Amino acid sequence: MEEVLHLVFEFSPWQSLCRWQCVSRSMKKRVERRVDEVLRLKAPDMTAHQRNTLEYMVPPVHPAHMDSVLKRYCVICSDPWKGRIDEEWGVHGHRKCINMQLTMVSGLRHRLPTEHMRSIMPIEIRDDRSIYGLPWHTYDVFWDNMHHCVPKEWTVEWYDKTQEHAIGAYLQEKERTRKRRRSANARLEYDLAREAEKRFGTRKCQLCVKKNAIGCSSGCCGDCCGHPMCPRHPH
């Protein structure tokens, strides 16, 4: 049986290996060993860029990812690619294709606990460069959607689906912080109003008294009456 399986794996295309690894856990491990074996055997046939960066691929390597290296195409867009394997994510593909799979951390803070995500997921620090080649703006990015070229535990989609407890606790704490801030602002406004009332009393300009208004309307008098709501008050 072992010899038969060895022959089957030796001549099977990567699509068949994908189906084989879904049969059982033991078969999945066997397929992973076969992929590693093929990458080692075919290393001399790879380009120098591929061979020198092969160590960046994160095991277990998906059969489709292996096929993209051997046949020299981008694993994301399927266009020809003979370049290096990306050092940050271990992906064999165009850098522009990889960039399209990334999402900025600043765009996730409103709904996800990014600090907790940093502790369990890889992150890349990117920088935009000026015309002089110096970094002028840096930002952090995560891998957004699941893809067979990267482990699913590295993606925002996986975190969104499996970390409901952490997300719920983060949103609740964010709502409590928002309520505390509103309460503090309301208290500050109340204290300022009381202080103004103690300082200025009920003094108003004559035109405001005639109009029975709280403060001056624009242009109602020439000089400030001292009331904090007067438009001419030097705030």
40-57 pLDDT, tens digit per residue, is: 878 888 888 888 888 898
Establish if 106 belongs to a structural domain: no
Domain end residue (candidates: 48, 66, 95): 95
Is there a contact between 46 and 53 (Cβ–Cβ < 8 Å)?
A: no
16 in any annotated domain: yes
pLDDT tens digits along 160-204: 999 999 999 999 999 999 999 998 888 888 887 777 777 765 544
Structural domain boundaries, residue 13: 1-95
C-alpha–C-alpha distance, residues 211 and 183, integer Å: 34
Domain end, chosen from 67, 95, 123, is at 95
Indicate whether 47 belongs to any domain: yes
Inside any domain, residue 13: yes
Render pLDDT for 7-31 as a digit per residue (tens, 0 to 9).
566 656 666 777 767 777 777 787 7
Domain count, the chain: 2
Q: Please determine, for residue 156, whether its predicted confidence score (pLDDT) is greater than 70.
A: yes
* Residue 101: inside a domain: no
Within a domain: residue 103? no
Q: Is there a contact between 42 and 17 (Cβ–Cβ < 8 Å)?
A: no
